[in-house]
Amino acid sequence: MSEAPVSDQATHMSPDRSAMARLSGSITPGVTAGILVAVLMFMPYLLGGSWTFTLGLCFANSIGVLAVSLLVRYGGEVSIGHTFFTALGAYSVGVLDTRYGISLWASVPLALCLGVTLGLLFAWPSRNLHGIYLAVTTLALALAVPEMINNFDALTGGYEGLYVATPFIPGASMGLQRYYVALAMLVIVCFAVARLRLSRQGMALLLAKTHPAAADAFGTRRVWARISIMGISGGIGALCGATLAFSGSTVSPGGFTFWQAIFLLVGSVVSFYGLSLPRVLIGGAFVTLVPQLLSSSGAWIPVFYGLALLGMILLGHYMPRIRKAMARKSETA
Amino acid sequence: MTFWDSLIYDLFPLMWSGMITGCLYALGALGLVMIFKCSKVVNFSHGNVAGLTAFLVYGLSSGVLMSLSWGAAVLVAMLAAVAIAFLIYSIISPLVFESDLTSTIATLGFGLIAQGVTLLMFGADIVALDLPIPRFAFSVLGLLVTGYDLTVLAVAIVTIGALFIVIDYTKLGIAFRAISENPFAAEVCGLNLKSVHYFAWITAAILGVIGALLIVPTTFLSVTTVATFMLQAFAAAVIGGFASLPGALVGGVLIGVLMNLFTFYVSPEYSSTFLLGVILLALNIFPNGILQNVGGSRV
């Protein structure tokens, strides 16, 4: 049972093109993303301060959703412990900021390095095993995160958390900075992921997932592919955390609970494991807005998330069949 | 205190109580392994569903929902667990044959729903749920043995013994093993994969309820108790190789003892981190389970 690949139909739910691009064939995904970014650039001038803040958080969470989706798509593996990486990124920013007054210039690269390194480390033990071992490892990881944060309270500030106040660009309005840094980060990460898809390395990773034997023949070892995709995903997860810390202005254990980790996965499923900018924005918005909208009735949040998760999965399962049946019907008619 | 004194007063009692809780982890792990063995799905909803049924027992016997006797409440909760397992498997069964990754993610959805339903029905309060067992305690060689310990041990031995007898000697058990070994060949031979999957899911749910009811008296019952208890079960399953029932049993007892020693001698605050370490270490040292090198795999 070693080397048994996780079956990968899940990752081929639908082609990774935005719905808008499919509607009008001439518009490429790149153009859609460009228009979307242009619209989002002007949002702070149309919306109030609190909505600008919330949108910033949406962008940050979108990066986390992207990290989870990337792991599913390129690795065929599921992580329910990405809060470990977001916590890593967030506390890199928080600690450097509050202890040493160092801004994102230094803490983002640090977060990225930590995320990649620890991602590689955690993927290592299960490198030869069925994908579920990584899932179980990440489950333990997610449960261990709050414990670590609270016990290293000398560094992390315990329950109270840390407040991130050092500006990225000195002098500019802090509210706008929190928004635009998140947007820029999201665009950069999405662009990098889109480039990865076209790069040789990205192709090799996909090949190693879908046809391990062929990849072996071409010199890409499946083990390395699996470890490196977890590294990349961990790095992006840490960037999500760093952005969350800066845009959300506070870093506290409440943001990195076990449930938050599952919510990131739910966001990824809701966006159909999409890697394009519009898709991850949907996932990020879902993760950010649903708890806010349902905040008065807390117990409904898990129910709603669970139903959304199941609904999307069943939709992904039945939609192609229904579409096929419809097509057959229209052919005969 | 000399070394021998501490050995007798600390280590043996710790190992004994660790073994007792370990039996319960094993019950949880056996359920996970049964489901994984035949349907290749990791059931992340196991803990939350078991927690919900434990709450049902509490609600039905304490007067929150009804005031039945303890036995009747357990019976109703068992039926509920069976119904829930049936429902969950019915919904995800089309996914199971298509992608084990998708169906594993789907079980997380059921876990979320079970969690939410527990919160909606019983709130986030902590409640006490005890077992109707005689309270007595006696000491053997300096070891304090309580009625609770003996109950757990007896229930665990009977349940696990019955499970192994069913799997080893009945037709259903043979079908289960055949499907775990080679689902395609089993189907060609005329076995109905789905009905055997149902058997595994329902048995796992019952094992989960038993485990949850027995673990709750040692702590208390809250929305998260049973779900966290299941992390230990997951760790036990990983140590046993996730596809071996005897391995899950050994893993459960091992985790119980290790956890007890760790919380006593090192720190009670890092228990999840410790489990994470154990899982990572176990994956490195015996990737195919602890029993792989010892005696080959049985079930």
Contact between chains at B279 and A10 (C-beta distance less than 8 A): no
Residue A78 lies in a domain: yes
Selected residue with higher pLDDT from A189 and A220: A189
Give the least confident one: A5-9, A14-18, B128-132, B144-148: A5-9
- Looking at residues A128-147, what average pLDDT do you find? 85
Where along chain B do its domains lie?
16-225
- Please tell me the predicted confidence (pLDDT) of residue A21: 46
- Looking at residues A11-24, what average pLDDT do you find? 47
- Looking at residues B175-195, what average pLDDT do you find? 86
- Domain boundaries, position A170: 9-293
Long-range contacts of B218-223 (CB under 8 A, 24+ apart): B218/B21, B218/B148, B220/B126, B220/B127, B220/B128, B220/B129, B221/B51, B221/B54, B221/B55, B221/B58, B221/B126, B221/B127, B221/B128, B221/B129, B222/B124, B222/B125, B222/B126, B222/B127, B223/B51, B223/B115, B223/B118, B223/B119, B223/B122, B223/B124
ipTM (interface pTM): 0.84
Rounded to whole angstroms, the Cα distance separating B250 from B263 reads 20
Residue of chain B whose alpha carbon sits nearest to that of A139: B231
- Looking at residues A32-45, what average pLDDT do you find? 86
CATH number for the domain that contains residue A278: 1.10.3470
- Looking at residues B278-284, what average pLDDT do you find? 87
Rounded to whole angstroms, the Cα distance separating A45 from B146 reads 69
B224-277 pLDDT per residue, tens: 777 778 888 999 998 888 888 888 999 999 999 999 899 888 888 888 889 889
B-chain CB neighbours of A139 within 8 Å are: 44, 231, 234
- Please tell me the predicted confidence (pLDDT) of residue B182: 86
Contact between chains at B109 and A307 (C-beta distance less than 8 A): yes
Contact between chains at B95 and A313 (C-beta distance less than 8 A): yes
A78-100 pLDDT per residue, tens: 888 899 999 999 999 999 988 88
- Please tell me the predicted confidence (pLDDT) of residue A235: 95
Residue A304 lies in a domain: no
- Model confidence at A23: pLDDT above 80: no
Residue A326 lies in a domain: no
Substitution target from A2, A13, A133, A272 for chain B, most B beta carbons within 10 A: A133
Confidence band, pLDDT 50/70/90 cuts, at residue B292: low
- Please tell me the predicted confidence (pLDDT) of residue B295: 44
- Please tell me the predicted confidence (pLDDT) of residue A27: 63
Query: A261, A233, A288: which is closest to B272 by C-alpha?
Result: A261
pTM: 0.86
Residue of chain B whose alpha carbon sits nearest to that of A73: B101
- Please tell me the predicted confidence (pLDDT) of residue A20: 45
- Looking at residues A168-179, what average pLDDT do you find? 82
- Model confidence at A13: pLDDT above 60: no
Query: A185, A136, A312: which is closest to A177 by C-alpha?
Result: A185
Angle of helix B46-62 relative to helix B70-96, nearest 10 degrees, comes to 150
B3-51 pLDDT per residue, tens: 777 766 778 888 888 899 899 999 999 999 999 988 888 999 998 999 9
- Model confidence at B139: pLDDT above 80: no
Contact between chains at B99 and A140 (C-beta distance less than 8 A): no
- Model confidence at A271: pLDDT above 70: yes
- Model confidence at B296: pLDDT above 60: no
CB-based contact (8 Å) between B93 and chain A?
no
Contact call for residues A148 and A247 (beta carbons, < 8 A): no
CB-based contact (8 Å) between B292 and chain A?
no
Q: Which residues contact residue A329 at a Cβ distance below 8 angstroms, ignoring those fewer than 6 apart?
A: none
Query: B33, B20, B35, B17: which is closest to B197 by C-alpha?
Result: B35
CB-based contact (8 Å) between B110 and chain A?
yes
Q: In the block, which residue shows the tokens 């650039």?
A: A41
Rounded to whole angstroms, the Cα distance separating A303 from B294 reads 44
- Please tell me the predicted confidence (pLDDT) of residue B228: 78
**Minimal Cα–Cα distance from A125 to chain B, Å?**
5
- Model confidence at A7: pLDDT above 60: no
Tell me which range, A112-126, A208-222, A292-306, is most confidently predicted by mean pLDDT: A112-126
What beta strand segments (E) does chain A contain?
162-163, 250-251
B-chain CB neighbours of A76 within 8 Å are: 101
- Please tell me the predicted confidence (pLDDT) of residue B1: 56
The token pair at A302 is 């898990």
Task: Give chain A's end-to-end CA distance (angstroms, integer).
Answer: 48
